[in-house]
Structure 1
Amino acid sequence: MIMRAFQLFALLVLFGVGGAFAQTETATRVDFAAWEKIAARAEASVKSDAVSDAAFETLRQELVVWRGLFGVTKDSNAERIATLKQQISALGPIPEDPASESAEIIARRAELSEQMNEIETPVVRSTEAYSQAGGLINEIDQVLRDRQTNALFERSKLPINPFLWATAIGELGQSIWSIGSDTQQTLTSDTATAKTNQNWPQIAMLLVVFLLLVLGGRNWAIRLADRIYAMTFRGSRTLGFVVSLAQVLLPYLGFLALVKAVDVAGVIGVHGQVLVDVFPTAALCVLVSLWLGKRIFTSSDGHAIFEVSAEQSRKGRIAIAVFGSVFAIRVLIAAIVDADKFSVDIANTLYLPLTLISAFCLWRLSKILRVHVRLNSEEGEQQRPLNRILSVLGRAGGIIALVSPILAVLGYSNAAEAIVYPSLLTLGLLAFISLVQRLVDDIYALITGKSGRAEQGLLPVIIHFVIVIISLPVLALIWGARVDSLTELWTSFQNGFALGDTRISPTIFLTLIVVFLFGYFITRLIQGTLRMSVLPKTKIDSGGQNAIISGLGYLGIFASVIFAVSSAGIDLSSLAIVAGALSVGIGFGLQNIVSNFVSGIILLIERPVAEGDWIEVGQYMGIVRSISVRSSRIETFDKTEVIVPNSDLISGTVVNWTRNSLMGRVTVPVGVAYGTDTRKVEKLLIEIAADHPMVLVDPPIRVFLQNFGADSVNFDLKALIRDVYYVAIVKSDLNHEIIKRFAEEDIAIPFPQRDLWLRNPEDLAAALSNQKTGPKE
């Protein structure tokens, strides 16, 4: 399982490089006779049950190579074929009467048609073979998946049978004794002695490296990482994490040196070489489990992933270390079982104790997960999403830890191992992802200079998401997915999907995004240049400048989209009918948005309203702060913002107080008592207004006697002021001055007065008198 991830990575790299190289090669002639033999053999193998999985894997690899060749060939000469079609089309349609066409045109059409057939024949055959190869690959994958599924439900003899235990231990001991005997025989051979004598300096150096790195390397790395974590300089946590990786790397290099020394000495026989080949993998399992347990449950930087008690942390570290050791033993035993071809019953008997121990480790870790969730969840509050996920994992792990031993004891060893080992490896993968995400946060904080963890930043969140996406293939491999299935999925992803007559692939999509972003960047660059350098030097007002910049932005984005689609080679003509039908439905649903969009364009062109204008629309009055493509933003004098749809500004009634100039009229109503000299009032009001610095004397100030009210004679003082934004202040100043001057001139400003007339006052007086003296007896 561990090596599958490395195989997947290597295959993806080879596919990418091989695909890029193949596309640069000129299409060569394909040996279709050889392909037909391969295809026939593949069809016969799929129908046969005697073909082994290894043979199917080999055959599948051959089919993948052929499919890649056909994929290049079927897309070759596309430009030449298009040119020939245009040439034939230029000759015009074949007339009903061939005699009416000149011999030269007939000959030319025949020549071009012959060239077309010669070029299209291998393309058509390659296209058909490409589909056939893909179908055969899918059939082989289906056969392998069926076999893998059937193997899960295969039942062997009960592994708890004592007779099986005696036989299993005997066969395992015989294999180990055979390895020892083979090694002893190799050691005493003249060839091994001569090889050792010849290479003893290299062997000695490798053994010294092994002793230094294995015996001291991990301890050195632990002490150095702890010292770095204890420091408080910037980036200490990031450096400490990187140094902690040496706890795995240094001992692993030491074990590789040991394996190399054994290989150079030539002291291991054929049987022993099986264990030597898998020994580094087994050692890596143990080293990774020790490192992971320390990083998860005890962290020198004070930020462990699982915040539980010291006792729970100790149990967690032990459980992870025990599972790592068990998995290493499982790798070694599996190598012996495969090499010596043990029976299924014997193999399952040997695997039983390992499965039981692994199930116990899973149960212990699941319990710690639940404890962690309980300690980090406040009572009465809803759990956070991460805690809910951990809670589900803890419960699922506990169930698997109970079910897998039962399946193993009943003989369903494959099913038991298929759930218990992947469950533990999944927990390890999730823990490793958490550590990497924390490292990303630390690096982000180190670069940006922000203290603490940068969990709230957008860039770390995006990187976290990318890390999770990258880990999905590894998770699929852990749960039994085949590398070939993942590479097939990757191939399908590279081929893309069909949209009409156009195929959308990652390359086309990337081209589309890059070209659009380039056009968008150029548009913003031109907008910035106009805004900062060009337009300020013109006589265009600010509203016109904003209209030009906004219009250029919309035009640039539209042109970027068109150019990006053309550059990516996407032909949407086949979708014209569908797009037309959708546009009708979308038009009804989005007619208000479209109306606002068109209104926004009209506002930018005609500019009846510009940014900075004082307008009154409906019940709102304020300053226009921005005009976008859908709506406009108005700031009222109460400092509240109102979003007004652009259609209201076009179709509704809008009062623009500052459209042509800042001048505005102020109207002050004044009432005086009856009997006052009206001409004197008129003259006095004009003098008061003329004395105000904001009031203009041209056009002249006017005073109108409006009407005779119930309590006063009503006048209106009307004057133009320099800045309409000060209308409220000017009106207030004029009112203050009117009160002052009217008082000086002894002019009364009346207020409503009412006279109350009572009917039969004597009856009212008698009633009041009776109320004071009381009722008569």
Structure 2
Amino acid sequence: MTRPVPILRVAAAIALAIGLVLPAAAQDAPPQQQPAPVQAAPAPAAETGNGQDAGVHRAQLDGVRAQLDQIENALTRQDLSDDDLQRLRQLLEAPAARIQATLTALTPKADAVKARLTQLGAAPEAGAAPETVEISREREERSRSLKELEDTIRLARALQVQSEQIRTTLTERRQAAFTRMIFQRTHGLLSPDLWSRMLSALPGEFAALSTVTRDWLATFERRARSGEVLALLAALGIGLALHFARVRLLPHVARRPAEVTDPSRLRQSVTALGIVLAQTVPVLAGALVLYLALESIQLLPPRVAPIVGTFLTSLVFLAFVRSLAHGLIAPGLPAWRLVPVQEGTARILVTAVTTGSGLVLLFTTVERIAESIGADYAVLVFLRGVHAAAIAALLAVTLHRTQSSGASEEACLGPYVPDSRAGGPLKALGWLVTAIIVIACLAGYIALATFLVEQVVWVATLAAVLFLLLVLVEETFEHAIRPDSRFALSLQTSLGLRRRALDQLSVLVGGTIRILLAIGAVVLVLAPWGIESSDILGSLRSGLAGIQLGEVRLSPTAIAISIVTFLIVIVVTRAVQRWLDQKFLPATELDSGLRNSIRTAAGYLGFFLAVALATAQMGLSLEKIAIVAGALSVGIGFGLQSVVNNFVSGLILLWERPIRVGDWVVVGDEQGYVRRINVRATEIETFDRAAVIVPNSNLISGVVKNWVHNNRIGRIIVPVGVSYEADPDEVARILEGCAREHSEVLSEPAPSVLFIRFGESSLDFELRCFVGNVEASLGVKSALLFAIFRKLREAGIEIPYPQRDLHVRGTERLEQALERLTGTTQATPAPAGAAETSKPS
């Protein structure tokens, strides 16, 4: 019977866009004895749904304990191979799952029985009133059931500890074996002993290879005579058709026009993914068809099947990594390049990837041939050493050429050429790995060099795939949630989401997917180091079991369910609030303030309900919550006093409604409209469109003027001053007439005019009237001032300027000085020149 088809694993890896795992190339271990078989875990029995099933779980745990003891006995042997340890770890999964299922099933039942016993209370003391027979019998049955459940739970937890210890031992044994295998020393590539032993073994190896070849050709000839090779010819025809489609047809599907100079990053990533699929899937399909055809006509004997499988796997790997490099780097098309590298570097990298995958195809096939014919150990060491040295030489040449290319382009383009920020550290790491591989090959650590080569190829391929997927996910969500996209508009209309909420949702979902991709990549990177997903999942399951805090067991699962419950109730509450605000309350005759109070109260109720349900999911009853609240009351009394004060004040505002949403209020030096009454504070929008946040406690304990608390009627006072020559009665009639002529001035209470005072420069009057809407008072007052000014001007009544008479005392001395100065000026004779100029010529 042939080995499992390795190409199927490659097909699954390509379909998931994760990459291909290269065949392991470690030193051959001597054949070892298989461990004793371990019995399979018993099938889980059906739950009975009451406390009596503790006996069923106890019987299952006895079987689990026997199985764990067998695994521990098998671990006492020191000659177990890595395959044996892996098999034992797989056998450990079933009992570990059975233990966790028992704890999950019995722990809630034990808690329920404890709660019932608490309700029944303790048995009456001696001399107390006797209780009924039914109560006594119920307490005895519950106590016995609780004891059985607690004993079973203790046994399950003890077995869980044993299971974790076995898992730890298995992991340590596998890691120790892995370390010994990696650092096993053999002959170096330049060792004379290696060369002499290999040269002496080559004739026998070629003879064995020719024997295998002759046998396979003889089998092929027999199949050809019987006509069975028609299936092989059909497979070759299918392969040619797929190759034609790959070369001629599929490139048009993922085309990158050179005339497009500024494609979007989403288009770049989608086109790159299309290139990878178009270049890889036909090769994968052709390899599968060819392998299945050879297997169907029995042309894959045990020695040939691994060779064909390895060759086809490496061929698919070559097509995959080459198309991946072209998709990401896009040589010759810098506008379509996803990785920010220079043009010269891009061409060098594509050439290096193609050459490296070709070397992988060549050496892995040759190594598989040597293993299939049972080649000498020296031949295998030589082939693996040359393979590692060839990859190291390719790495060194690539690093040197990229460095030289970057220097030459920088000299041509100027002092600064933009390149990837990670280029420097990656080049340094590449040189370090290259040096280690070369030294390991020369020092005889061929297994270490081979392992490093495999990791370089594996990590580089995985990093390229991860980069493409991350860019694709990021750009897909950013493009799909654009404001003008149909998807975003449909989400906004169907779910009622705001633009900001939609942006946050897209960022959250995209970030979650990228985190999951990164975690998967880390697991795949750690897999060759002996850390597999089952180890991580085992630790994760142990963490999900939670921790015990008193009588409450907190687990990540319960916390996650509580969070989901809380979010669901909050979403439902928001939907109810939106329905009240947009559908129900507008159909009523309630004012806007009362409608806001009802909507806010519904939000508070939903929030408290969400908290109660979430805490119930974590196993916290109302009594435990009351205890926690009592413990927090001390902190509330000291540190949260103002917060609680504002919260209670907010509730008072919603209940008594001294102010409502939409009211015009004056608080201190600020006035404006109440826009929102929140839990802690109230938001007031001033007439300057500024938001003033006032703590609710200030509104309850302070002085607040509310212009519209009882009604919206407001009074207007218009001061007017006229000259002393005006007739006061005529002025009063004019003012009152202006008020009565305005449409928004109420006739009841009637407008009135008051003679206020004799001012310093005018007679002062006040026109007092009322309007139906106080918010219109400023506009009405302005209109009245215009009308009054016009009417007074028509009547010839002057509105005076401020006047003052100034009387100056004690000016006698100043007058005498001015008189003396004037007399002195008149007595002074004129100059001679001035007299001459006055004579006529």
Q: TM-score of the superposition, structure 1-length normalised?
A: 0.80
The answer to whether 1:73 aligns with 2:102 is: yes
Q: Name 1:318's counterpart in structure 2.
A: 351
**Deviation per residue, 1:583-609 (Å, 9 max, x gap):** 644665554444433333222222222
Structure 1 residues 698, 378: CA separation in 2 closer, same or farther (over 3 Å shift)?
farther
Q: 779, 782, 803: which is aligned to 1:729?
A: 779
Q: Name 2:495's counterpart in structure 1.
A: none
Q: Name 2:837's counterpart in structure 1.
A: none
Q: Contact 2:645 / 2:697 at 8 angstroms: preserved in 1?
A: yes
What letter is aligned with 1:498?
Answer: I
Deviation at 1:59, TM superposition (A): 1.6
Q: Name 2:510's counterpart in structure 1.
A: 463
- Structure 2 distance, partners of 1:304, 1:451, is 26
What letter is aligned with 2:806?
Answer: D
Q: Contact 1:631 / 1:646 at 8 angstroms: preserved in 2?
A: yes
1:175-324 correspondence to structure 2 within 5 Å? 178-188=208-218, 193=222, 197=226, 199-213=228-242, 215-220=243-248, 222-227=250-255, 238=270, 241-242=273-274, 244-298=276-330, 302-324=335-357
Q: Name 1:436's counterpart in structure 2.
A: 469
Q: Contact 1:81 / 1:116 at 8 angstroms: preserved in 2?
A: yes
Q: Contact 1:366 / 1:393 at 8 angstroms: preserved in 2?
A: no
- Structure 1 distance, partners of 2:624, 2:414, is 58
1:619-658 correspondence to structure 2 within 5 Å? 619-658=669-708
The DSSP-based 3-state class of the residue aligned with 2:377 is coil
Structure 1 residues 439, 107: CA separation in 2 closer, same or farther (over 3 Å shift)?
closer
Structure 1 residues 207, 396: CA separation in 2 closer, same or farther (over 3 Å shift)?
same
- Structure 2 distance, partners of 1:526, 1:397, is 60
Which has the larger displacement, 230-239 or 282-291?
230-239
- Structure 1 distance, partners of 2:295, 2:786, is 107
Q: Contact 1:165 / 1:349 at 8 angstroms: preserved in 2?
A: no
Q: 326, 331, 342: which is aligned to 2:377?
A: 342
- Structure 2 distance, partners of 1:753, 1:138, is 104
Structure 1 residues 401, 733: CA separation in 2 closer, same or farther (over 3 Å shift)?
farther
Deviation at 1:737, TM superposition (A): 3.6
What letter is aligned with 2:247?
Answer: N
Deviation at 1:327, TM superposition (A): 3.7
Structure 1 residues 519, 314: CA separation in 2 closer, same or farther (over 3 Å shift)?
same
Q: 558, 569, 581: which is aligned to 1:519?
A: 569
- Structure 2 distance, partners of 1:674, 1:681, is 11
What letter is aligned with 2:717?
Answer: T
Q: Contact 2:661 / 2:676 at 8 angstroms: preserved in 1?
A: yes
Structure 1 alignment gaps of length 5 or more: 11-17, 772-777
Deviation at 1:765, TM superposition (A): 8.9
State the percentage of identical aligned residues: 25
- Structure 2 distance, partners of 1:365, 1:467, is 34
**Deviation per residue, 1:193-229 (Å, 9 max, x gap):** 259736333232223223433x434313553335586
What letter is aligned with 1:205?
Answer: A
- Structure 2 distance, partners of 1:433, 1:280, is 24
Deviation at 1:740, TM superposition (A): 3.8
Q: Name 1:477's counterpart in structure 2.
A: 524
The DSSP-based 3-state class of the residue aligned with 2:336 is coil
Structure 1 residues 471, 631: CA separation in 2 closer, same or farther (over 3 Å shift)?
same
Structure 1 residues 589, 137: CA separation in 2 closer, same or farther (over 3 Å shift)?
same
The answer to whether 1:145 aligns with 2:175 is: yes
**Deviation per residue, 1:369-405 (Å, 9 max, x gap):** 9899999x99999x9xx96566655554455455554
- Structure 2 distance, partners of 1:698, 1:450, is 56
How big is the alpha-carbon RMSD for the aligned residues of Structure 1 and Structure 2?
Answer: 5.0
- Structure 2 distance, partners of 1:72, 1:9, is 34
Q: Name 2:498's counterpart in structure 1.
A: none
The answer to whether 1:63 aligns with 2:92 is: yes
Which has the larger displacement, 62-71 or 393-402?
393-402
Structure 2 alignment gaps of length 5 or more: 1-5, 17-39, 49-55, 489-501, 826-841
Rg (Cα) greater in structure: 2
Q: Contact 2:189 / 2:442 at 8 angstroms: preserved in 1?
A: yes
Q: Name 2:750's counterpart in structure 1.
A: 700
Structure 1 residues 766, 52: CA separation in 2 closer, same or farther (over 3 Å shift)?
farther
Deviation at 1:32, TM superposition (A): 6.0
- Structure 1 distance, partners of 2:371, 2:824, is 125
Deviation at 1:435, TM superposition (A): 2.7
Q: Name 1:775's counterpart in structure 2.
A: none
Structure 1 residues 737, 210: CA separation in 2 closer, same or farther (over 3 Å shift)?
closer
Structure 1 residues 55, 571: CA separation in 2 closer, same or farther (over 3 Å shift)?
farther
The DSSP-based 3-state class of the residue aligned with 1:523 is helix
Deviation at 1:138, TM superposition (A): 1.7
Q: Name 1:493's counterpart in structure 2.
A: 540
Structure 1 residues 412, 312: CA separation in 2 closer, same or farther (over 3 Å shift)?
same
Q: Contact 2:113 / 2:146 at 8 angstroms: preserved in 1?
A: yes
Q: TM-score of the superposition, structure 2-length normalised?
A: 0.75
- Structure 1 distance, partners of 2:405, 2:481, is 33
Q: Contact 2:726 / 2:797 at 8 angstroms: preserved in 1?
A: no
Structure 1 residues 333, 183: CA separation in 2 closer, same or farther (over 3 Å shift)?
closer
The answer to whether 1:54 aligns with 2:83 is: yes
Structure 1 residues 443, 61: CA separation in 2 closer, same or farther (over 3 Å shift)?
same
- Structure 1 distance, partners of 2:457, 2:820, is 105
Q: 712, 719, 727: which is aligned to 1:662?
A: 712
Deviation at 1:555, TM superposition (A): 0.9
Structure 1 residues 33, 424: CA separation in 2 closer, same or farther (over 3 Å shift)?
same
- Structure 2 distance, partners of 1:140, 1:769, is 131
- Structure 1 distance, partners of 2:548, 2:404, is 50
1:17-56 correspondence to structure 2 within 5 Å? 30=59, 35-36=64-65, 38-40=67-69, 42-43=71-72, 49-56=78-85
Deviation at 1:357, TM superposition (A): 3.6
Corresponding pairs, count? 756
Q: 151, 155, 172: which is aligned to 1:125?
A: 155
Structure 1 residues 241, 380: CA separation in 2 closer, same or farther (over 3 Å shift)?
closer
Deviation at 1:250, TM superposition (A): 0.7
Deviation at 1:542, TM superposition (A): 1.5
Q: Name 1:761's counterpart in structure 2.
A: 814
The answer to whether 1:360 aligns with 2:409 is: no
